[in-house]
Each structure stands twice: as C-alpha cells, then as structure tokens.
C-alpha cells in the first residue's frame, strides 16, 4: 500500500507517517506511507534506494510535502524532521486522519 498514490514527476506529496499496521484502517487518497520511525533515514537515502524501498520517487527538497498521522502529533514531528533535513516546502495537516475521517463520515450522512 505504501506507494500506491504517488506518481513519478509529481509536484507534491501527501505522506502518512503512521506505522504500516495503522494504515490498514485506511489512508487519505493519493497518500503514501513513510512511518515516522524511519523518516529521517529515508530522507538521507539516495533516490534509487528510496524508490526501491518505498515504491515511489523521493521528494526533492523544494517539492511540496504535506505530512499527516492519526491526530497531528507525529506529523508535526515529521515536518520538523524534514525541515532539519533541508526540505523547504513542508506542510502539516494538523487535523490528520481523525479530522479527515470525521469529514468523510459527515459527507456520507448528508
């Protein structure tokens, strides 16, 4: 599931930093999974190694990357990790999975 949403040469990434077992509940469409526990190491990988491990192109430091998790705590940490590693277009979806699923549930009940 980790590389399903990403495509080559895309302008932005939506990265779910939850652990793989958590993503079994679902993921936001177009998101890819890089667990927070491996994010710092992943950002240091050569692009070829990154693609082999995660199944999609490694974001470039100037590409827009939005992080989310379950409730916003880990995505905040992920944003800080990415910034410390030279990424400049970082966004944090603070409401994360809980907010997104709540909005989807409200759409379905109307």
Q: Is 100 in contact with 48 (CB distance < 8 Å)?
A: no
Q: How far apart are CA 77 and CA 28, in angstroms?
A: 19
CA distances from 84 to 1, 40, 110 (A): 27, 9, 43
| Catalytic residue status for 69 | yes
The catalytically annotated residue of 39, 65, 69, 81 is 69
Q: Is the dihedral of CA 11, 17, 20, 21 positive or negative?
A: negative
Q: Is the dihedral of CA 30, 50, 61, 77 positive or negative?
A: positive
Could you give the residue numbers annotated as active site?
69
């Amino acid at each position: 599931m980790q590389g399903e949403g990403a495509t080559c040469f895309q302008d932005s990434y939506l990265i779910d930093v939850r652990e793989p077992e958590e993503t079994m509940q679902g993921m936001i469409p177009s998101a890819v999974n890089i667990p927070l526990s491996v994010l710092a190491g992943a950002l240091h990988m050569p692009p070829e190694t990154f693609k082999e491990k995660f199944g999609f192109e490694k974001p470039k430091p100037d590409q827009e990357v939005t992080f989310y998790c379950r409730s916003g705590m880990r995505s905040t940490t992920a944003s800080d990790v990415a910034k410390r590693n030279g990424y400049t277009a970082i966004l944090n979806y603070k409401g994360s999975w809980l907010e997104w699923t709540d909005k989807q549930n409200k759409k379905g009940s109307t």
